[in-house]
Amino acid sequence: MAALEAPTVPPQGPVRLGRRLPRSFFARPSTAVGPELLGRVLVRELPDGTRLAARLVEVEAYQEGDPASHSFRGRTPRNEVMFGRPGHLYVYFTYGMHFCSNIVTGSNGEGSAVLLRAAEPIAGLEVMADHRGLETPRLLCSGPARFTQAFGIGRPDNGTDLVRSQSLYLLSGEPAPARAIARSTRVGVTVGVERRWRFFVRESPFVSPGRPATG
Protein backbone atom coordinates (compact mmCIF):
# COMPACT_ATOMS: atom_id res chain seq x y z
CA MET A 1 0.00 0.00 0.00
CA ALA A 2 1.01 3.64 -0.29
CA ALA A 3 3.37 5.16 2.25
CA LEU A 4 1.78 6.91 5.17
CA GLU A 5 2.42 10.57 5.79
CA ALA A 6 5.29 11.37 8.13
CA PRO A 7 4.25 11.28 11.77
CA THR A 8 4.58 14.41 13.86
CA VAL A 9 6.59 12.57 16.48
CA PRO A 10 8.81 9.56 15.96
CA PRO A 11 7.05 6.30 16.83
CA GLN A 12 8.45 4.11 19.58
CA GLY A 13 9.80 1.62 17.09
CA PRO A 14 9.90 0.70 13.43
CA VAL A 15 6.55 0.83 11.70
CA ARG A 16 5.92 -2.07 9.37
CA LEU A 17 2.38 -1.90 8.15
CA GLY A 18 2.06 -5.29 6.54
CA ARG A 19 -1.21 -6.49 5.09
CA ARG A 20 -4.84 -6.58 6.07
CA LEU A 21 -5.76 -9.26 8.59
CA PRO A 22 -8.15 -11.92 7.25
CA ARG A 23 -11.50 -12.95 8.71
CA SER A 24 -9.97 -16.13 10.13
CA PHE A 25 -7.78 -14.06 12.44
CA PHE A 26 -10.86 -12.74 14.23
CA ALA A 27 -12.83 -15.99 14.20
CA ARG A 28 -11.29 -17.23 17.44
CA PRO A 29 -11.99 -16.64 21.14
CA SER A 30 -11.51 -13.01 22.21
CA THR A 31 -8.95 -14.12 24.79
CA ALA A 32 -6.79 -15.54 21.99
CA VAL A 33 -7.32 -12.66 19.56
CA GLY A 34 -6.76 -9.98 22.24
CA PRO A 35 -3.03 -10.35 22.90
CA GLU A 36 -2.38 -10.98 19.22
CA LEU A 37 -3.90 -7.61 18.36
CA LEU A 38 -1.08 -5.79 20.16
CA GLY A 39 1.28 -4.21 17.64
CA ARG A 40 -1.33 -4.28 14.86
CA VAL A 41 -2.20 -1.09 13.04
CA LEU A 42 -5.68 0.40 12.76
CA VAL A 43 -6.04 2.62 9.70
CA ARG A 44 -8.78 5.15 8.98
CA GLU A 45 -9.07 6.94 5.66
CA LEU A 46 -11.11 10.10 5.93
CA PRO A 47 -13.25 11.50 3.09
CA ASP A 48 -10.73 14.29 2.51
CA GLY A 49 -7.96 11.75 1.95
CA THR A 50 -6.29 12.10 5.34
CA ARG A 51 -4.99 8.81 6.67
CA LEU A 52 -4.98 8.08 10.39
CA ALA A 53 -3.00 5.16 11.76
CA ALA A 54 -2.14 3.87 15.23
CA ARG A 55 -0.52 0.78 16.66
CA LEU A 56 -2.58 -1.06 19.27
CA VAL A 57 -0.93 -1.23 22.70
CA GLU A 58 -3.84 -2.11 25.02
CA VAL A 59 -7.01 -4.20 24.62
CA GLU A 60 -9.55 -6.10 26.71
CA ALA A 61 -11.39 -9.34 25.92
CA TYR A 62 -15.12 -9.78 26.54
CA GLN A 63 -17.17 -12.93 26.07
CA GLU A 64 -20.59 -14.46 26.50
CA GLY A 65 -20.99 -15.85 30.00
CA ASP A 66 -18.77 -13.03 31.18
CA PRO A 67 -20.81 -10.79 33.51
CA ALA A 68 -18.80 -7.72 32.49
CA SER A 69 -19.68 -8.17 28.82
CA HIS A 70 -22.44 -6.29 27.05
CA SER A 71 -23.46 -9.64 25.57
CA PHE A 72 -24.00 -11.25 28.99
CA ARG A 73 -27.76 -10.64 29.07
CA GLY A 74 -28.39 -11.42 25.44
CA ARG A 75 -29.04 -9.33 22.36
CA THR A 76 -30.25 -5.74 22.46
CA PRO A 77 -30.38 -3.18 19.67
CA ARG A 78 -27.15 -1.74 21.04
CA ASN A 79 -25.05 -4.90 21.16
CA GLU A 80 -26.49 -6.56 18.04
CA VAL A 81 -23.24 -6.19 16.08
CA MET A 82 -21.34 -8.02 18.81
CA PHE A 83 -23.34 -11.15 17.97
CA GLY A 84 -22.61 -10.91 14.26
CA ARG A 85 -19.69 -12.00 12.12
CA PRO A 86 -16.13 -11.62 13.39
CA GLY A 87 -13.98 -8.81 12.01
CA HIS A 88 -16.68 -6.16 12.33
CA LEU A 89 -16.46 -3.02 14.46
CA TYR A 90 -18.81 -2.78 17.46
CA VAL A 91 -19.17 0.87 18.51
CA TYR A 92 -21.19 1.75 21.60
CA PHE A 93 -22.13 4.94 23.37
CA THR A 94 -21.54 5.17 27.11
CA TYR A 95 -21.66 7.53 30.08
CA GLY A 96 -23.87 9.81 28.07
CA MET A 97 -20.96 11.25 26.12
CA HIS A 98 -18.37 8.76 24.91
CA PHE A 99 -18.04 6.17 22.16
CA CYS A 100 -15.89 3.06 22.50
CA SER A 101 -14.72 0.65 19.79
CA ASN A 102 -14.50 -3.13 19.79
CA ILE A 103 -13.55 -5.76 17.23
CA VAL A 104 -16.02 -8.64 17.06
CA THR A 105 -14.42 -12.06 17.53
CA GLY A 106 -15.44 -15.71 17.66
CA SER A 107 -18.07 -17.34 15.48
CA ASN A 108 -21.18 -15.73 14.07
CA GLY A 109 -23.85 -15.49 16.78
CA GLU A 110 -21.43 -15.82 19.65
CA GLY A 111 -21.33 -12.38 21.30
CA SER A 112 -17.64 -11.86 21.98
CA ALA A 113 -15.34 -8.94 21.18
CA VAL A 114 -12.12 -7.16 22.02
CA LEU A 115 -12.30 -3.58 23.33
CA LEU A 116 -9.67 -1.29 21.80
CA ARG A 117 -8.31 0.60 24.80
CA ALA A 118 -5.15 2.39 23.69
CA ALA A 119 -2.83 2.89 20.75
CA GLU A 120 0.34 4.64 19.70
CA PRO A 121 -0.43 7.20 16.98
CA ILE A 122 1.78 6.82 13.91
CA ALA A 123 0.07 8.91 11.23
CA GLY A 124 -2.41 11.76 11.02
CA LEU A 125 -1.57 13.13 14.44
CA GLU A 126 -2.67 16.64 13.54
CA VAL A 127 -6.15 15.50 12.64
CA MET A 128 -6.33 13.34 15.75
CA ALA A 129 -5.35 16.37 17.83
CA ASP A 130 -8.11 18.30 16.11
CA HIS A 131 -10.66 15.60 16.93
CA ARG A 132 -9.48 15.46 20.54
CA GLY A 133 -8.99 19.13 21.21
CA LEU A 134 -5.50 18.49 22.55
CA GLU A 135 -1.99 18.26 21.14
CA THR A 136 -0.09 15.90 23.44
CA PRO A 137 0.58 12.73 21.40
CA ARG A 138 0.54 10.53 24.49
CA LEU A 139 -3.02 11.58 25.27
CA LEU A 140 -4.47 11.17 21.78
CA CYS A 141 -5.37 7.47 21.94
CA SER A 142 -4.65 6.39 25.52
CA GLY A 143 -8.13 5.27 26.57
CA PRO A 144 -11.03 3.58 24.76
CA ALA A 145 -13.09 6.74 24.30
CA ARG A 146 -10.03 8.84 23.51
CA PHE A 147 -8.90 6.38 20.88
CA THR A 148 -12.36 6.32 19.32
CA GLN A 149 -12.61 10.11 19.35
CA ALA A 150 -9.13 10.56 17.86
CA PHE A 151 -10.16 8.36 14.92
CA GLY A 152 -13.44 10.21 14.47
CA ILE A 153 -15.35 6.98 15.00
CA GLY A 154 -19.03 7.23 15.99
CA ARG A 155 -22.48 5.71 15.45
CA PRO A 156 -22.22 5.53 11.65
CA ASP A 157 -19.16 3.29 11.99
CA ASN A 158 -20.95 0.67 14.09
CA GLY A 159 -20.98 -2.57 12.11
CA THR A 160 -18.16 -1.65 9.73
CA ASP A 161 -16.45 -4.72 8.29
CA LEU A 162 -12.73 -4.23 8.95
CA VAL A 163 -11.93 -7.07 6.57
CA ARG A 164 -13.58 -5.38 3.58
CA SER A 165 -13.96 -1.67 4.28
CA GLN A 166 -11.81 0.69 2.24
CA SER A 167 -11.87 3.39 4.90
CA LEU A 168 -11.41 1.52 8.17
CA TYR A 169 -9.24 -1.58 8.43
CA LEU A 170 -6.59 -3.40 10.42
CA LEU A 171 -3.09 -4.18 9.14
CA SER A 172 -0.84 -6.92 10.46
CA GLY A 173 1.85 -4.45 11.55
CA GLU A 174 4.44 -5.93 13.83
CA PRO A 175 2.87 -8.19 16.47
CA ALA A 176 4.16 -7.64 19.98
CA PRO A 177 6.29 -10.56 21.15
CA ALA A 178 4.90 -12.56 24.07
CA ARG A 179 7.59 -11.29 26.45
CA ALA A 180 6.49 -7.69 25.82
CA ILE A 181 2.86 -8.41 26.72
CA ALA A 182 1.51 -7.99 30.24
CA ARG A 183 -1.98 -8.77 31.51
CA SER A 184 -4.17 -7.49 34.31
CA THR A 185 -7.75 -7.24 35.44
CA ARG A 186 -9.97 -5.11 33.22
CA VAL A 187 -10.45 -1.41 33.84
CA GLY A 188 -13.70 -0.08 35.23
CA VAL A 189 -15.45 -3.40 35.70
CA THR A 190 -16.82 -4.49 39.05
CA VAL A 191 -17.94 -7.99 38.08
CA GLY A 192 -15.91 -10.77 36.52
CA VAL A 193 -12.75 -9.32 38.08
CA GLU A 194 -11.18 -12.77 38.32
CA ARG A 195 -10.80 -12.71 34.56
CA ARG A 196 -7.47 -11.04 33.82
CA TRP A 197 -8.32 -10.19 30.24
CA ARG A 198 -6.69 -6.80 29.82
CA PHE A 199 -3.61 -7.18 27.62
CA PHE A 200 -1.10 -4.41 27.04
CA VAL A 201 2.42 -3.70 25.84
CA ARG A 202 4.49 -3.60 29.02
CA GLU A 203 6.76 -0.65 28.33
CA SER A 204 4.51 1.50 26.20
CA PRO A 205 3.90 5.06 27.41
CA PHE A 206 0.74 5.04 25.30
CA VAL A 207 -1.13 2.60 27.55
CA SER A 208 -4.13 4.20 29.28
CA PRO A 209 -3.62 5.55 32.81
CA GLY A 210 -6.62 3.54 33.99
CA ARG A 211 -5.01 1.11 36.39
CA PRO A 212 -1.82 -0.29 37.86
CA ALA A 213 0.09 -2.39 35.37
CA THR A 214 -0.33 -5.71 37.13
CA GLY A 215 2.08 -7.87 35.21
Q: Does 184 bind DNA (CB under 7 A)?
A: no
Contacting DNA (CB under 7 A), which of 186, 195, 197, 201?
Answer: 186
Binding mask 40-59 toward DNA (x if CB under 7 A, else -) reads --------------------
Q: Give the nearest distance from C-beta 3 to DNA in angstroms.
A: 30
Q: Does 70 bind DNA (CB under 7 A)?
A: yes
Q: Does 97 bind DNA (CB under 7 A)?
A: yes
Q: Does 158 bind DNA (CB under 7 A)?
A: no
SS (H, E, C) the chain: CCCCCCCCCCCCCCCCCCCECCHHHHCCCHHHHHHHHCCCEEEEECCCCCEEEEEEEEEEEECCCCCCCCCCCCCCCCCHHHHCCCCEEEEEEECCCEEEEEEEECCCCCCEEEEEEEEEEEECHHHHHHHHCCCCHHHCCECHHHHHHHCCCCHHHCCCECCCCCCEEEECCCCCCHHHEEEECCCCCCCCCCCCCEEEECCCCCCCCCCCCCC
| CB nearer DNA, residue 76 or residue 167 | 76
Residue numbers at the binding site for DNA (CB under 7 A): 60, 62, 68-71, 73-74, 76-79, 82, 90, 92-98, 100, 102, 113, 115, 132, 134, 139, 143-147, 186-191, 208, 210
